């Protein structure tokens, strides 16, 4: 996650980006205009305004959203984001990306997303709990274990999901673990869910490296963002022998050409709340970090990081999108022409929702799997999905994003068509 100080949110409206990405694939697929009309809209968009008692007598009204883009392939699925710059259009884009993400890895969900405009970094645990419980109550019109299943996203975590689960269960009158995923293991969460987004991303990086003939041993890696996806990506890729030469978080970036130790960064961040200031590392700006000489760049923050203004300066051979929506369609074209392999978000970060699916299945069956089983099944899904997309990209001579969209959109269109139009 990166701050508004370093992120220009005005660059592109994420919803316009999402539509443009969809249109590129729809054109390639010669998608029927009626189907195009259906898939270019979100099926349900709920906006809620709700009061939260902050401290002695102060009541603040918050705005939140829950959007379901398309639920033809199964219940809605997608995270809840707490961030000061959340907008309805951002949540719509994230919901649409969830539809494609679930389809590209073949898990039986539609796409959904939620968000609350707030700054969790400046709220107490008590305030966050109250906000979460009230927001859950407001969106309970839409959510449920067979309707729409939230999960963590930027600014939320396993504790947030525990509050969602408890609030929903209190209203329901019995414990309903399957209403959210990404919960703590003690209340029905899954082993391996915390690391799943990063683990999945690393599986796709391994496959991408094979495809372009890159040796991961000693490969230089830059990670933008040191939240859940960024931190575990840095750790897991370093375990494979790659060299993490720069990382950043909302407070700024750090670099050392000889390599940084992700464990030490984690410990330092836990103590100080930031990565900057780590002994033995130099400061680096967000702009310079993205343009560093490296083999693998992992954007693991938020949208709008690689655009036409910096795509020509990216040195990496592989851009692995652990974040959602970091690259604009203009940048996609530039990177493709320059021979950079972009592993698109809907494929690269699908490990998170894949293990969410495993968690939901375990909750519904009341039968829990070992971490080794989870990781092996995750690997199978990611490796197969990556290679399906790679084959399509070769067959149609398109970039990896367009290929992933072609696969996803055709699956969703097929489900939507097969079900037919009601009534
Ligand atoms: N927020 C994550 C994503 O963007 C996870 C969603 C989920 O597990 O439902 O993919």
Q: What is the pLDDT of residue 7?
A: 45
**Band of residue 55 on the pLDDT scale cut at 50, 70, 90:** confident
Query: Residues with Cβ within 6 A of ligand 1?
Result: 77-79, 101, 151, 153, 181, 324, 349, 352-353, 356
Percent of the residues in the chain that have a pLDDT greater than 70, as a whole number:
98
Report which ligand 1 atom has the smallest distance to the Cα of 355: 8
User: In CATH, which superfamily holds the domain spanning 196-348?
Assistant: NAD(P)-binding Rossmann-like Domain (3.40.50.720)
**Nearest residue (CA) to ligand 1, atom 9:** 78
pLDDT in tens, 378-421: 999 999 999 999 999 999 999 999 999 999 999 999 999 999 99
Which has the closest alpha carbon to 142: 184, 91, 86?
91
Per-residue pLDDT, 56 = 83
Q: In the 8-state DSSP scheme, what is residue 71?
A: -
Asked whether 316 and 297 are in contact (CB, 8 A), the reply is: yes
**Cα–Cα distance measured from residue 348 to residue 67, given in angstroms and rounded to the nearest whole number:** 22
pLDDT at 67 over 60: yes
Band (pLDDT 50/70/90 cuts) for residue 349 is very high
**Can you say whether the dihedral through the CA atoms of 225, 85, 82, 308 is positive or negative?**
negative
Mind telling me the catalytic residues?
Answer: 113
Q: How many CB atoms lie within 10 A of CB 396?
A: 13
pLDDT digits (tens, 9 = 90+) for 125-173: 999 999 999 999 999 999 999 999 999 999 999 999 999 999 999 999 9
Average pLDDT, the chain: 96
Which of ligand 1's atoms lies nearest the C-alpha of 350?
A: 10
Mean pLDDT, residues 299-313 taken together: 96
Give yes or no for a contact between 124 and 90, defined as CB atoms under 8 angstroms apart. no
Contact 152, 228 (CB under 8 A): yes
Q: Is the pLDDT reported for residue 1 higher than 70?
A: no
3-state helix, strand, coil in the chain (%, to 5): 50, 20, 35
Structure tokens belonging to residue 315:
């040195």
Identify the pLDDT of residue 31. Answer: 98
Question: What confidence score (pLDDT) does residue 390 get?
Answer: 98
Give me ligand 1 centre to Cα 423, in Å. 32
What does the DSSP 8-state code read for residue 217? T
Confidence of residue 36 (pLDDT cuts 50, 70, 90): very high
Do the domains at 42-182 and 196-348 have one common CATH topology?
yes
**151 Cα to the center of ligand 1, angstroms:** 6
Would you mind telling me the total number of residues written for the chain in this entry? Answer: 423
How many whole angstroms separate alpha carbon 87 and alpha carbon 320? 25
Q: Which CATH number fits domain 42-182: 3.40.50.2000, 3.40.50.10860, 3.40.718.10, 1.20.140.10?
A: 3.40.50.10860
Please give the distance, rounded to the nearest whole angstrom, from the Cα atom of residue 51 to the centre of ligand 1: 27
pLDDT band at 303 (very low <50, low <70, confident <90, very high): very high
pLDDT value of residue 317: 98
Per-residue confidence (pLDDT) for residue 273, from 0 to 100:
95
Q: What percent of the chain has pLDDT over 90?
A: 96
CA distance 222 to 246: 5
Cα radius of gyration rounded to whole Å, the chain: 20
Of 194, 277, 251, 207, nearest in space to 260 by CA: 277
Residue 8 has what pLDDT? Answer: 46
Q: Which of 356, 361, 378 to mutate to test the pocket of ligand 1 (most atoms within 8 A of CB)?
A: 356
d(CA 246, CA 253): 7
Q: Where are the domains of the chain?
A: 42-182, 196-348
The whole-number pLDDT of residue 11 equals 74
Q: Which atom of ligand 1 is nearest to the CA of 181?
A: 8
Tell me the pLDDT tens digit for each residue of 228-276.
Answer: 999 999 999 999 999 999 999 999 999 999 999 999 999 999 999 999 9
Closest Cα to residue 42, out of 18, 74, 7? 18
């Amino acid at each position: 996650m990166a701050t508004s100080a370093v992120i220009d949110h005005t660059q592109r409206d994420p919803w316009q980006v999402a539509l443009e990405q969809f249109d590129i694939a729809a054109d390639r697929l010669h998608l029927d205009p009626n189907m195009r009309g259906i898939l270019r809209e979100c099926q349900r968009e709920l906006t809620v305004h709700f009061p939260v008692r902050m401290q002695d007598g102060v009541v603040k009204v918050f705005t939140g959203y829950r959007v379901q883009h398309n639920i033809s392939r199964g219940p809605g699925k997608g995270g809840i984001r707490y961030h000061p710059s959340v907008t309805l259009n951002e949540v719509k884009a994230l919901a649409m990306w969830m539809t494609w993400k679930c389809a590209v890895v073949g898990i039986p969900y539609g796409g959904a997303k939620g968000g609350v405009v707030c700054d969790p970094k400046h709220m107490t645990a008590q305030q966050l709990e109250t906000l979460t419980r009230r927001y859950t109550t407001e969106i309970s019109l839409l959510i449920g274990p067979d309707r729409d299943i939230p999960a963590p996203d930027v600014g939320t975590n396993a504790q947030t999901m525990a509050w969602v689960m408890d609030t929903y269960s209190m209203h329901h009158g019995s414990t309903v673990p399957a209403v959210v995923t990404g919960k703590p293991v003690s209340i029905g969460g899954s082993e391996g869910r915390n690391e799943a987004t990063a683990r999945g991303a690393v599986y796709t990086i391994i496959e991408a490296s094979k495809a372009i003939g890159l040796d991961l041993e000693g490969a230089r890696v830059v990670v933008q963002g040191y939240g859940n996806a960024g931190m575990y990506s840095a750790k897991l890729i370093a375990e494979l022998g790659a060299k993490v030469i720069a990382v950043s978080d909302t407070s700024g970036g750090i670099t050392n050409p000889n390599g940084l130790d992700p464990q030490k960064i984690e410990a330092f961040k836990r103590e100080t709340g930031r990565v900057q200031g780590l002994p033995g590392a130099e400061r680096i700006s967000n702009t310079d970090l993205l343009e560093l000489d490296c083999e693998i760049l992992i954007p693991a923050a938020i949208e709008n990081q690689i655009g036409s203004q910096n795509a020509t300066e990216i040195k990496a051979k592989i851009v692995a999108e652990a974040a959602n929506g970091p690259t604009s369609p203009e940048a996609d074209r530039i990177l493709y022409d320059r021979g950079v392999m972009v592993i698109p978000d809907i494929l690269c970060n699908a490990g998170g929702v894949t293990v969410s699916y495993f968690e939901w299945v375990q909750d519904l069956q009341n039968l829990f799997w070992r971490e080794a089983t989870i990781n092996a099944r995750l690997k199978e899904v990611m490796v197969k999905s990556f290679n399906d997309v790679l084959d399509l990209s070769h067959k149609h001579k398109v970039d990896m994003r367009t290929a992933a969209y072609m696969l996803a959109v055709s699956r969703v269109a097929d489900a939507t068509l097969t079900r037919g139009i009601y009534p």
